[in-house]
Amino acid sequence: MSNIREIAERSGVSVATVSRVLNGFTGVSDETRKKVLAAAEELDYAPSAAARALVTRRSLLIGVVLLTGDQPEFQHPYFQVVLDGVKNALDREGYDLLLLGGDVESSGEDTYVERSRRHRVDGVILMGAGFDNPEVERLVGLGLPTVAVDLELQGKRAGFVSSDNVEGARLAVRHLHECGCRRVATITGMSHTSPGVERLRGYELEIKKLKLPKQAELVRAGDFYVETGHRGMKELLALAEPPDGVFAASDLSALGAMRAIQEQGLRVPEDVAVVGFDDIQFAALASPPLTTIRQNKVAIGSEAVRALLAMLEDPPAPPPAIRVPVELVVRGSSCRAPRSAAG
Amino acid sequence: MSNIREIAERSGVSVATVSRVLNGFTGVSDETRKKVLAAAEELDYAPSAAARALVTRRSLLIGVVLLTGDQPEFQHPYFQVVLDGVKNALDREGYDLLLLGGDVESSGEDTYVERSRRHRVDGVILMGAGFDNPEVERLVGLGLPTVAVDLELQGKRAGFVSSDNVEGARLAVRHLHECGCRRVATITGMSHTSPGVERLRGYELEIKKLKLPKQAELVRAGDFYVETGHRGMKELLALAEPPDGVFAASDLSALGAMRAIQEQGLRVPEDVAVVGFDDIQFAALASPPLTTIRQNKVAIGSEAVRALLAMLEDPPAPPPAIRVPVELVVRGSSCRAPRSAAG
DNA sequence: TTGTAAGCGTTATCAG
DNA sequence: CTGATAACGCTTACAA
């Protein structure tokens, strides 16, 4: 593979001049510029990111950390779309994306933090991390510019972007109430994640505000995935007084819940109305189609990038703390036309 | 951030010795080793991948190209899992993953090939590319070691891994036949992709072998996504003689087909049996649960990595051409217990 | 067992 | 407008 010295020789100028041309600097005669460009073309030149990074001290690399469960099949579809938003935004800005996993087992000592450092990434986008992730502290302690998705990171150089989970949960409960549900349960997300606790909080706040029955038995612990949704719903249906509406903290668990309901020979939404959270691709394809709180996943991804690059450009600026609005999407798993909430 | 010179100074040795210690070379006294390691620890040293890559001429970076449609929401869930397999395998081998998109619009001149070259990736894993991708030729022409997923790349340094699509399609058709279907249609994948043409070929071969009616009207063009599955099925049901079984070239289109059937007030599998391809997470969650041809997605990902690294280690070795076996998974969308294919 | 020094491919400073 | 040249952080002969 050719380098700027070869270009310099072939076009009869110095490497400095070649560098100037290649970087679009002004103050180079048109004639030399043409010669250099021609030589570069002929040699099929491609610059070396490593050499550049070494001297400029900027890698133009962003570490994107995707912390997912162990079972790949069970990766949450939500992240896929956020990642796509991140990727496209990064592309547009000329940054490259180093995808880092959180598979601590196989990586051994080689955590995503170490890999980020080794590659001198300019910044990090952290997805899927809970409060319990041991590496996070290290990451912000290092002062490596970081934007977390779905985790309220706060640091000199660390901020976050996430959906308005509390408001989303409130919307869901209010909608169920407007559909005529009088006993509204919830299946929660993981309690060591921000979305988990925030959606539970939103549920509780709205239950209280609407003066709906607030009972511990109506709250089942889940983990955002199908199985716990299924199990939680089975438990709810086994109650002496089962709920007539349920808010699941994720679409996946809502789908599990719907399955449990239908397995009991009950109907959605007539017997139990269901509202999920996320609006993953399959929410609309379920039968009945799932009413849900839509997260603007692409916006979350691109906002994370925007915020991160802003931090890079203006170090003293305060780190981002961004809430992306959510939206209620009414489909067949709840009432079609919300009636008024007459007692 | 500290470097080996600082470590050298602090521990009173030369940079060469530090390098030796850090790389686990033998022939260093235990005493110096300890001193160096201690100094490195104190300085919280992290090696520079760029500097290393520059001198060793190995980046330990693999470019993973994910060519997806424009609409992120419509990304196929299949790739997510393959990507996970790739990521974990790469992790285990100490390689890092540069995620490259194919968004030609926004990337402009900066294609995934150029980015790969700039970063001096040691190899490339190409996913989602069809026959029509203009960059592919460039990629193999460059001699950059490449393994394509779902595309029969052949080159001095280019090979492929993909599912046994022909066999999978045959299995699907045979199963439908065993379920008693006598008029079996198909909704195809994109004709500019290997899985698209291979699954169609498998369908045709098995239709012929089983002496089932072979008619052009039973073959509807699709693109692996939900909408074409839905549309194709609607067309099939509008036929004078509609099919009683359909093989969709992907689970997504199978789901679309099921929806079309149910919208007509018909039942799956009683009126029309449906078999998909992929076994994505949601196949099992559909109602009825979808019978499908399971691709071993994780294996495809890790095989691609294994094959690529093998090429890197042994350049003269012939490039890989790997077929990963598929498997019929019978669920509710076809007959539960395949009856014998009595005329 | 250890040190010296020559690169790897760039950019950037400083002269001219 | 152009050219030398010193870094950037590391590995690796080659010497000692």
* Residue B337 reports pLDDT greater than 70: no
Residue A26 parent element (H or E): none
**Cα→Cα distances A311→A124, A141, A301, A317, Å:** 11, 16, 16, 7
- Tens digits of per-residue pLDDT, B4-54? 999 999 999 999 999 999 999 999 999 999 999 999 999 999 999 999 999
Give per-residue pLDDT as tens, B280-323: 999 999 999 999 999 999 999 999 999 999 999 999 999 999 99
Please tell me if residue B3 touches chain A, with a CB cutoff of 8 Å: no
Q: Which structure tokens are listed for B152? A: 């029969």
Q: Which of residues 17-56 of B touch strand D (CB under 7 A)?
A: 19-20, 22-23, 45, 47-48, 51-52, 54-56
Q: Do B77 and A281 touch (CB under 8 A)?
A: yes
What is the average per-residue pLDDT within B262-270? 96
Confidence of residue B260 (pLDDT cuts 50, 70, 90): very high
Structure confidence at residue A81 (pLDDT): 93
Query: What is the least distance, in Å, from the CA of B212 to any CA of chain A?
Result: 32
Strands A146-149 and A158-163: parallel
Quote the pTM value.
0.94
Phi, psi of A176 (to 5 degrees): -60, -40
Task: Give the residue-averaged pLDDT of B247-267.
Answer: 97
- Name the pairing type of β-strands B327-329 and B291-294: antiparallel
Contacts of A99 in chain B (CB under 8 A): 64, 87, 97-99
| Residue B261 clears pLDDT 50, i.e. is over it | yes
C1'-nearest nucleotide to the CA of B48: D9
- What is the H or E stretch that residue B275 is in? strand B273-278
Min distance B74 CA to chain A CA atoms (Å): 8
- pLDDT confidence of residue A104: 56
Work out the average pLDDT over B147-164.
Answer: 97
Tally of residues, chain A? 343
State which residues of chain A have pLDDT below 70: 70-74, 103-108, 336-343
Give B 137-196 residues with CB within 8 A of chain A. none
Residue pointed to by tokens 């669920």: B331
| Residue among A59, A226, A262 whose CB faces B50 most closely | A59
User: For chain B, what is the mean pLDDT?
Assistant: 94
CA B57 / C1′ C13 distance in Å: 28
d(CA A210, CA A100): 44
- The answer to whether A135 contacts chain B (CB < 8 Å) is no
Rg (CA), chain B: 26
Over the stretch A96-120, which tens digit does the pLDDT of each residue have?
999 998 765 555 688 999 999 999 9
Count of other CB atoms within 10 angstroms of residue B337 = 7
Residue B200 in contact with residue B190, Cβ under 8 Å?
A: no
Q: What are the tens digits of pLDDT across the range A124-168?
A: 999 999 999 989 999 999 999 999 999 999 999 999 999 999 999
Q: For residue B176, which of B291, B296, B325, B327 has the smallest C-alpha distance? A: B291
Confidence band of B225 (pLDDT split at 50, 70, 90): very high
pLDDT score for A78? 94
| Whole-number pLDDT of residue B340 | 45
Q: How many CB pairs under 8 A join A and B?
A: 139
Tally of CA atoms within 13 A in the half-sphere of B53 that contains its CB: 24
Q: Say which nucleotide is closest to residue B28, CA to C1' distance.
A: C1
How deeply is B178 buried, as exposed, middle or buried, from its count of CB atoms within 10 A (0-12, 13-18, 19+)? middle
Q: Do B84 and A68 touch (CB under 8 A)?
A: yes
A45 touches strand C (CB under 7 A): yes
